[in-house]
Amino acid sequence: MASPLSRRRFLAAGSALAAAPLLARPALAAPEARSGAPAPLHPPRLNPGDTVALIAPAGAVRPRLLDEAKRSMEMLGLKYTVGRHVLDRHGYLAGTDAARAEDFNRAITDPNVDALFAIRGGWGCARMLPFVDWTALRENPKAVIGYSDLTSLLMAAYARSGVVGFHGPVATSTFSPFTLASLRALVFDAEAGPLAPLAQDDPEPIVTLTAGTARGRLVGGNLTVLCAMVGTPYMPSFEGEILFLEDIGESVYRIDRMLTQLGQAGLLGGLAGVAFGSCRGCLPEVDAVGQFTLEEVMRRHFEPLAVPTYLGAPIGHITDKVTVPVGALAEIDADRGTLSLLEPAVR
């Protein structure tokens, strides 16, 4: 996710944080990677009248955004509780790492909370991962919903606790009929089948790179965030899984660089399939001497894998987005350009 922050503005922002440590330390050392991944665990479905916790695990939240999130929950027929640190400010973050994790942990263990909805993304989820009580999440599985920077939280939850999470709208997203139908089908109605229950108003063209079908559990999210997880104990195995990716505002050479990193880290070789979603604004450099298109870069990295792969999935920073359950068993059909659940993502 490219940032427009200039060097001057970055340095100015940094000076504002000088009085507080940039990286708070957890009381315990970061957890060691588990020798064996926990079995997938499906959280309970949401029902009208259930209570969700509105949390801010990443970027700072303005009061108007919180009000917008509350209205969205009411539109969904849900009650809500608000994390006590949601309006905290720690530089560009919604409070310290420990405070944001405290809201998350409290919501997980609160018997009156049925699911967790992120108010926004931005940056910061990865910083709070060492403070999260993964055992509590395993013992109290709940749907965690969000996308973009939430990639690290959803993937870590799957890796550390086995709990299926939902790469879908944040609470301040535009809930178009398409987006709403996908969220309801997966999280409320416990439906299996195609992730996209409706036709998009403005679909991206489906481009099949490698034809075929395959089955595996869904892993992935925002490419930039995913690459930043490489080498940490919070990244689940990709072996035999279906990888879904999306990004926004990244130059083509940056997409190339990030896919190179995933490949050289050994994460692409054992995949069952790949679905690449939206990459709005991912364009070649205007003044570059030579160019590759985004599709050319995709072909360079994915065609040698010889697994079903397609571009144009309705995933990411777009108005009409599907909700993708991280850790759920699915089938990819690269000829048709579809992802279909083989099991309900909730119970």
Q: How many whole angstroms separate alpha carbon 230 and alpha carbon 48?
A: 38
Question: Which pLDDT value is given to residue 29?
Answer: 35
Which value, in Å, is the radius of gyration of the alpha carbons in the chain? 19
Residues 2-19 have a mean pLDDT of 41
pLDDT beyond 90 at 202: no
Cα–Cα distances in angstroms (integers) from residue 2 to residues 121, 223, 260, 280, in the given order: 14, 11, 18, 11
Taking only the tens place, the pLDDT of each residue in 29-48 is 333 333 478 999 999 999 99
Summarize pLDDT for 263-279 with one digit per residue, the tens. Answer: 999 999 999 999 999 99
Per the annotation, the verdict on 317 as an active-site residue is yes
Q: Which burial class, exposed, middle or buried, applies to 87 when counting CB atoms under 10 A from its CB (0-12, 13-18, 19+)?
A: middle
Helix (H, G, I), strand (E, B) or coil at 117: strand
By residue count, the chain amounts to 347
Task: Tell me how far apart the alpha carbons of residues 189 and 185 are, in angstroms, rounded to a whole number.
Answer: 5
State the catalytic residue, choosing from 42, 102, 148, 173.
148
Among the listed residues 246, 250, 278, 301, the single catalytic one is: 246
Q: Which residue segments constitute the domains of the chain, with CATH numbers given?
A: 40-173 (3.40.50.10740), 192-346 (3.50.30.60)
The residue with tokens 């059909």 is 333
Encode burial over 25-36: b for 16+ CB neighbours within 10 A, e otherwise: eeeeeeeeeeee
Query: What pLDDT does 203 receive?
Result: 85
Average pLDDT for the chain: 91
* Residue 301 among the catalytic residues: no
Can you give the pLDDT at residue 2?
A: 54
Which one-letter DSSP state was computed for residue 236? P
pTM, two decimal places: 0.90
pLDDT over 70 percentage in the chain: 90
Instruction: Answer whether 252's CB lies under 8 Å from 282's CB.
Output: yes
Q: Which of 331, 304, 319, 326 is nearest to 204 (CA)?
A: 319
